[in-house]
Structure 1
Amino acid sequence: MTSVANPTVVHTRAPGKINVYLAVGDLQDDGYHELATAYQAVSLYEDVRARHADDFSVHVTGGAAVDVSGVPTDASNLAIRAARLLATTTGYRGGVQLRIDKNVPVAGGMGGGSADAAATLLACDALWGTGLGRDDLLHLAAELGADVPFAFAGGTAIGTGRGDELSPALAKGTFQWVLALADFGLSTPTVYRELDEHRRRHSGDISPVRQPVVDTGVLQALRAGDPGMLADSMHNDLQAPALHLEPGLARVLEIGESNGALAGLVSGSGPTVAFLAPDLDGALELQIALSAARLSVVRATGPVHGARVISD
């Protein structure tokens, strides 16, 4: 019998996310942007299974609607980076064999790679018995990328700084989402560069963004668990540059909003489009309408838990 203290395989799961509000500050001297965002973790999950090994490797598979052909499996993979960071930090001398089953769109603006990294930190910590506490793991998560701490924490939260400084946000009830998945990805750095170019082109009309903040209407809507209120407050500064790079996304937004969605927005840097439905029946009807328009769609709910160990 395998000892619980020394498992041979650890299975962890972490969620994708929707930025229900994203305000982006101006480009800083260090090349980054200050952000203010409201994250909600949703029920599309990345599953990571970790096994003992002498070196570091990763094998990636995808669900029916997820194309993983462009996911790197070398040292640049964020999950491999997470495992190596944990090993370096704790002095662990072995390696790990990772298997990742992806259900979050790749390069879709929903933080799939970040979820992989969060799940890997948790899996390797349990597999190797390195025994880091939650705060230490969150600190390592922040070193890997702005969205990784939220994938670790889950739920609903406000992110500031680069998005990695988290404050839990009260959220009541369950929100129903219908996600239109693209058959292409958008590079996050490319979308941010397009935003910077847009602001430069219109510098005479656009005031500098001194300090991005999350609109109070978003916080009130989340606390009330009111999808109508949230629909009125949702916003994404990256939506305009994403639409400029991929104009076809505007048509996707039109289809959803004309078929019962309370509101739609590009998720993060895109190209996934997230539609908020009034209730489960509305979500089902919207899913049917979007599918009839030959779009690839999935339903999801939020908020959900962050990274956790799964008992197989």
Structure 2
Amino acid sequence: MTERENSEAVVARAPGKINIFFRVGALEPDGYHRVASLYQAVSLVEEVRAEHADTFSVSFAGPIDGSGLPVDGRNLAIQAARLLAEETGYPGGVRLTITKQVPIAGGMGGGSADAAATLIACDALWNTNVGRERLHELAAVLGADVPFALKGGTAVGTGRGDELSQALSTGTFHWVLALSEHGLSTPVVYRELDLHREDPLHRMNPAPAEPAVDSAVLQAVRSCDPQLLAEAMLNDLQVAALKLAPALVDVLELGERLGALAGIVSGSGPTIAFLAE
């Protein structure tokens, strides 16, 4: 969603997400894993305001404290703006102001949403008009979750999670998010999953050769049935996240005792999404 304030500023928004189903394949020679995910956008959004500038800069506002985030080339929004400028030959820069609502390092794709909204905002601000298909290709260069943040809604992601197909979804699900003061590193969580699978005690649950989203979870979102969804949710990364942050086990148990239909670690965690009636 974009909104042109004037010729000097454009505002774009992109949603955070939860993975209501996430299968992870084996570690491949290139260091990545094939995955199969069912993404669902949530009502927490990242808002990016882009203004003309000679250089590239980013600052943060909003209810989520972004003071600890990098503001140089390590920042995914800066990377997104520079990538679009390189792709189109745009000679200038951009001043980005990001209003954060998605938890940081929480497994909800906040950084990916920043990058997606930046691509949209800069494309409009600079009148580069690269088109939706090329924006999707650039998003995939930036990270596996960025294409979904660009698309939103409910979608199946395969490959590294960036090969998307729309999933039929009706109605609205209601989630309660339990946030953590401390984040989890996505690469560390994946590495812990690989170690878990190498343990002889756990070889009864090997990595799937070709990860796929189960039909049961697709049927649950198609019918907007929270009971069915509670039974079908799955996240292969959850076992690794719980091992790295054991206190999350207590949070999961507490949420379900207090009436949640089910709880699941979102993505690589540590945010836990509880499905409510």
Q: 1: distance between equivalents of 2:5 and 2:239?
A: 50
AA partner of residue 181 (structure 2): D
Asked whether the equivalents of residues 27 and 33 of structure 1 are also in contact (C-alpha less than 8 Å), the reply is yes
Is it true that 1:71 corresponds to 2:64 in the alignment?
no
Residue of structure 1 in register with 2:265 after alignment:
266
Asked whether the equivalents of residues 197 and 203 of structure 2 are also in contact (C-alpha less than 8 Å), the reply is no
Q: How does 1:209-288 map to 2 (within 5 A)?
A: 209-278=208-277
Q: 2: distance between equivalents of 1:70 and 1:239?
A: 26
Name structure 2 gaps, 5 residues minimum. none
Kindly report structure 1 stretches of 4+ aligned residues shifted beyond 6 Å: none
- TM-score, normalised via structure 2 length: 0.96
AA partner of residue 139 (structure 1): E
Asked whether the equivalents of residues 17 and 42 of structure 1 are also in contact (C-alpha less than 8 Å), the reply is yes
Asked whether the equivalents of residues 24 and 207 of structure 2 are also in contact (C-alpha less than 8 Å), the reply is no
- TM-score, normalised via structure 1 length: 0.86
Q: 1: distance between equivalents of 2:203 and 2:255?
A: 34
Asked whether the equivalents of residues 5 and 129 of structure 1 are also in contact (C-alpha less than 8 Å), the reply is no
Q: 2: distance between equivalents of 1:208 and 1:155?
A: 28
Q: Deviations along 1:192-213, whole A, 9 cap, x unmatched?
A: 0000010111364333420111
Shift of 1:6: 6.9
Asked whether the equivalents of residues 140 and 146 of structure 2 are also in contact (C-alpha less than 8 Å), the reply is yes
Residue of structure 2 in register with 1:172 after alignment:
170
Is it true that 1:127 corresponds to 2:110 in the alignment?
no
Is it true that 1:57 corresponds to 2:62 in the alignment?
no
Larger relative CO (CA 8 A, sep 6+): 1 or 2?
Answer: 1
Residue of structure 1 in register with 2:27 after alignment:
27
Partner of residue 115 from structure 1, selected from 102, 113, 116: 113
Identical residues among aligned pairs (%): 64
Residue of structure 2 in register with 1:44 after alignment:
44
Q: Deviations along 1:106-135, whole A, 9 cap, x unmatched?
A: 000000000000000000000000011111
Q: 2: distance between equivalents of 1:191 and 1:243?
A: 9
Partner of residue 96 from structure 1, selected from 94, 97, 108: 94
Residue of structure 2 in register with 1:309 after alignment:
none
Asked whether the equivalents of residues 21 and 235 of structure 1 are also in contact (C-alpha less than 8 Å), the reply is yes
User: Could you say what the CA RMSD is over the residues aligned between the two structures, in angstroms?
Assistant: 1.2
Q: 1: distance between equivalents of 2:87 and 2:204?
A: 48
Asked whether the equivalents of residues 5 and 11 of structure 2 are also in contact (C-alpha less than 8 Å), the reply is no
Q: How does 1:188-207 map to 2 (within 5 A)?
A: 188-202=186-200, 204-207=203-206
Asked whether the equivalents of residues 6 and 127 of structure 1 are also in contact (C-alpha less than 8 Å), the reply is no
Paired residues, number: 273
Q: 2: distance between equivalents of 1:204 and 1:13?
A: 43
Shift of 1:60: 1.4
Name structure 1 gaps, 5 residues minimum. 279-312
More displaced stretch, 206-215 vs 151-160: 206-215
Residue of structure 2 in register with 1:152 after alignment:
150
